[in-house]
Amino acid sequence: GNGGSMGTGEGPNERIIKVLSELESHYTLHSDPFRALSYRKAISSIRRHPYPLLTASAALKLPSIGPSLASKIEEIASTGNLNQLDTTKTSSEDKALKLFLGIYGVGPKKAREWVLKGYTTLEEIREKEKLTEAQKVGVERHADFGRRIPREEVREHGRVVEEVAREIDQGLVLEVMGSYRRGVKSCGDIDIMITKEGAEGRYIKLVLDRIVERLTERGFLKAALAASKGDDATDGSKWYGASQLSPDLPWRRIDFLVVPWAERGAALLYFTGNVIFNRSMRLLASKKGYVLNQRGLYLDVIRGPKRQKLTEGTLVEGESEQKIFEILGIPYRPPEERNA
């Protein structure tokens, strides 16, 4: 075998990350979302650190890590564990929580509810709980959806969709986005943007329905999980589901996003991510008086007392990713450099 990693087991600080993520699930389970979030941030910070962390002082230099976390990191680095963490007591509940959180269509609230009911396995959930159609697929295909998708396979899914899309309308433009566009070796799902020059959202939405229909007939699409039913042409339409390249391969999560031509740059920026990069872009935009979202970069958005939007504002740029960077006054960052 080639000992190929599934995308997570590779970093120099895996043990630390593993123990800290146990703490994260612990706090999620016990309804302490703020503490859970701080662990999540710390983990992502450690993940980005290319060297082994051995001491508290080294850990303190990373973003999102304070003194108390730093000393925990040192303890894990030197002993392989955390004294504070009673693994025998917490781990079965935390394991169940993690299992349930990994089901497509199940959020933290549901997952916690099930853990508190004492469930520990997927079988129990399947038998005892009333599930939505999407959650049923999520339970049945839990193992499949948990597998990373090799980049090459993501590309193949993109090809199949593009082929069918082109049969329907030569002018459609498709782009595989998300982690694939950021150049990573394996992806959690497949994200595909569909647009067309001169076409409005409403038209492309109709086209999306036909693409989905044909791909389902072909046996490529296996299940629909969610779709935004917005008939509003301004609402970039989405379709979430599962696809499979061939019977010997797992079902994969696939997302289609239909965007109007005029918004393709902003959509590209948003759906390329990653989530943390997006957050920092939006923050930067707002510091400069703009509002950035998946539809465009806006000025003069007027907000009410609770920060709710009172006006849409003026669209400054939506077509070009590059121009959005330019207007915000920062150098263009290629997708491969948006992983943090």
Are 200 and 233 in contact by the 8 Å Cβ rule? The answer is yes
Q: Report the residue number, 172 or 187, with the smaller CB distance to ligand DCP.
A: 187
- What are the start-end ranges of the H helices in the chain? 14-29, 33-47, 56-60, 67-79, 87-101, 108-116, 122-128, 133-140, 142-146, 151-168, 178-181, 201-217, 264-272, 275-287, 321-328
For 184, phi then psi, to 5°, come to -70, 160
For 116, phi then psi, to 5°, come to -70, -25
Are 192 and 161 in contact by the 8 Å Cβ rule? The answer is yes
Q: Which residues pair with 297 in a beta bridge?
A: 292, 317
Q: Is residue 255 involved in binding Mn ion (CB under 5 A)?
A: yes
Q: Which of residues 165-224 bind Mg ion (CB under 5 A)?
A: 178, 189, 191
Nearest 5°: the CA angle 24, 126, 136 is: 85
**What does the chain come to in residues?**
340
Closest distance of CB 252 from Mn ion, Å: 11
Interaction partner, residue 201 (ligand DCP, Mg ion, Mn ion, none; CB < 5-8 Å by kind): none
Query: Which has the closest alpha carbon to 30: 136, 111, 148?
Result: 111
Q: Which of 61, 72, 110, 117 is catalytic?
A: 72
Q: Report the residue number, 25 or 179, with the smaller CB distance to ligand DCP.
A: 179
Are 70 and 57 in contact by the 8 Å Cβ rule? The answer is yes
- Report the distance separating Cα 258 and Cα 238, nearest Å: 6
Interaction partner, residue 293 (Mn ion, Mg ion, ligand DCP, none; CB < 5-8 Å by kind): none
Q: Judged by CB under 6 A, which of 157, 208, 278, 324 binds ligand DCP?
A: 278
Are 296 and 263 in contact by the 8 Å Cβ rule? The answer is yes
Of 27-35, 59-67, 184-192, 214-222, which part binds Mn ion (CB under 5 A)?
Answer: 184-192
Computed on alpha carbons and rounded to an integer, the radius of gyration of the chain in Å comes to: 22
Q: Judged by CB under 6 A, which of 273, 296, 318, 335 binds ligand DCP?
A: 273
Closest distance of CB 208 from Mn ion, Å: 16
Is 98 labeled as catalytic in the residue annotation? no
Q: Report the residue number, 93 or 255, with the smaller CB distance to Mn ion.
A: 255
Record the tokens describing residue 288, joined without a space.
């400069």
Q: Report the residue number, 41 or 210, with the smaller CB distance to ligand DCP.
A: 41
Residue closest to ligand DCP when measured from CB atoms = 273
Closest distance of CB 49 from Mn ion, Å: 26
Closest distance of CB 317 from Mg ion, Å: 24
Task: Report CA-CA distances (Å) from 237 to 2, 46, 135, 172.
Answer: 41, 36, 21, 15
Q: Report the residue number, 119 or 180, with the smaller CB distance to Mn ion.
A: 180
Record the tokens describing residue 159, joined without a space.
């090809």
Interaction partner, residue 195 (ligand DCP, Mn ion, Mg ion, none; CB < 5-8 Å by kind): none
Closest distance of CB 159 from ligand DCP, Å: 18
Closest distance of CB 273 from ligand DCP, Å: 2
Q: Report the residue number, 22 or 189, with the smaller CB distance to Mg ion.
A: 189
Q: Report the residue number, 138 or 178, with the smaller CB distance to Mg ion.
A: 178
x/- string (CB under 6 A) for ligand DCP, residues 171-200?
-------xx-------xxx-x---------
Closest distance of CB 340 from ligand DCP, Å: 12
Cβ burial, residue 189 (10 Å; 0-12/13-18/19+)? buried
Q: Judged by CB under 5 A, which of 22, 175, 191, 263 binds Mn ion?
A: 191
Interaction partner, residue 274 (Mg ion, ligand DCP, Mn ion, none; CB < 5-8 Å by kind): ligand DCP
Residues binding ligand DCP (CB under 6 A): 178-179, 187-189, 191, 270-271, 273-275, 278
Catalytic residue numbers read: 72
